[in-house]
């Protein structure tokens, strides 16, 4: 049935609905192009926010912090995406068109979805906070808020995850800490750009698996990014200069005509 059997069910459901469903179906088709690569990818967050200014601010900040972010602009769209794709965390505005955030939260919990949910709202009354938490939210943040506070709450919830601390990734003598976003090769810390880090994490989570250039672009950049560009090769070259060049055993390997793979060579 594949990794994400809910996707065809959601798309089938949309075919049976009114004119608005065509818009939602287009959104899902764009996003589901990427889900083949999600299973071992970087932390992925769904933001459901109808205010374009707030949404842009949050997406920009989270992207700079090396999270992958998808955006839904109303509650119905957010509910569909949350049911179709295995997100690590959801940031959910309370005042949404079509379906309010409280209802989205309640429905997700009633469907057995256990990912962390942070509610955003302009309402700061105790009763509203209690209602949100009772609906199944894990945290509640009142607008306006400082981005570092949102970031700290996200890190805390992701660490909590399964009740276990986040594990470091290791391939040979290459080591990565996904929480602190630090990387070491043979014990020496390496300074990476955001894109270099995102590519390396994607490669490490898919050790011994060949990743095409298109897969890397769709995962690290954006669905709409031109996959004919050589941007991946440029970043791989700079990544190799930091990760491989000064070490006896290279870990990043080119598969000609296909893409790249991270692996420890057989001796």
* CATH number for the segment(s) 169-262: 1.10.10.10
Residue (of 68, 72, 56, 70) closest to 24 by Cα position: 72
Distance CA 181, CA 151 (A): 14
DSSP string computed for 58-121: HHHHHHHTT-EEEEESSHHHHHHHHHHS--SEEEEESS-SSS-HHHHHHHHHHTT--S-EEEEE
Q: What is the DSSP letter of 201?
A: H
Note whether 220 and 213 are within 8 A (CB). Answer: no
Class of domain 6-160: alpha beta
CA count, 13 A, side-chain hemisphere, 35: 19
Rounded average pLDDT over 82-104: 91
Query: Which residue spans of the chain are classified as CATH 1.10.10.10?
Result: 169-262
pLDDT in tens, 228-243: 578 899 999 999 999 9
Query: Which residue spans of the chain are classified as CATH 3.40.50.2300?
Result: 6-160
Distance CA 67, CA 112 (A): 24
Distance CA 14, CA 95 (A): 24
Distance CA 168, CA 184 (A): 11
pLDDT of 12: 44
pLDDT in tens, 53-71: 999 999 988 888 878 889 9
Q: Measured over all CA atoms, what is the biggest interatomic distance in the chain, rounded to whole angstroms?
A: 64
Residues 6+ apart with CB under 8 A from 220: 68, 195, 198, 199, 202
Residue with tokens 């570092």: 148
Confidence of residue 107 (pLDDT cuts 50, 70, 90): very high
pLDDT of 26: 57
pTM as predicted: 0.58
pLDDT in tens, 163-206: 444 568 899 999 998 777 889 999 999 999 888 988 998 899 88
């Amino acid at each position: 049935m594949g990794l994400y059997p809910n996707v065809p069910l959601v798309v089938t459901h949309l075919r049976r609905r009114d004119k608005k469903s065509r818009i939602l179906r287009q959104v899902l088709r764009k996003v589901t192009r990427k889900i083949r690569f999600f299973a071992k990818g970087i932390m992925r967050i769904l933001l459901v926010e109808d205010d374009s200014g707030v949404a842009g601010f949050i997406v920009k900040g989270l992207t700079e912090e090396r999270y992958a972010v998808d955006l839904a602009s109303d509650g119905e769209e957010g509910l569909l995406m949350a049911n179709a794709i295995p997100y690590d965390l959801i940031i959910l505005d309370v005042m949404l068109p079509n379906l309010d955030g409280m209802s989205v939260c309640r429905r997700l919990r009633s469907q057995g979805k256990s990912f962390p949910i942070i509610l955003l709202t302009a309402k700061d009354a105790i009763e509203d906070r209690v209602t949100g938490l009772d609906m199944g939210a894990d945290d509640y943040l009142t607008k306006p808020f400082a981005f570092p506070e949102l970031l700290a709450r996200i890190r805390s919830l992701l660490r909590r995850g399964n009740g276990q601390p986040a594990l470091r990734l290791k391939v040979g003598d290459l080591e990565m800490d996904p929480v602190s976003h630090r990387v070491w090769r043979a014990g020496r810390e390496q300074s990476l750009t955001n894109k270099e880090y995102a590519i390396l994490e994607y490669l490490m989570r898919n050790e011994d698996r060949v990743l095409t250039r298109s897969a890397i672009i769709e995962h690290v950049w954006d669905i709409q990014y031109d996959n004919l560009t050589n941007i991946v090769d440029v970043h791989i070259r700079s990544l190799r200069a930091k990760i491989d060049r000064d070490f006896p055993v290279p870990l990043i390997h080119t598969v000609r005509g296909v893409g790249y793979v991270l692996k420890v060579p057989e001796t």
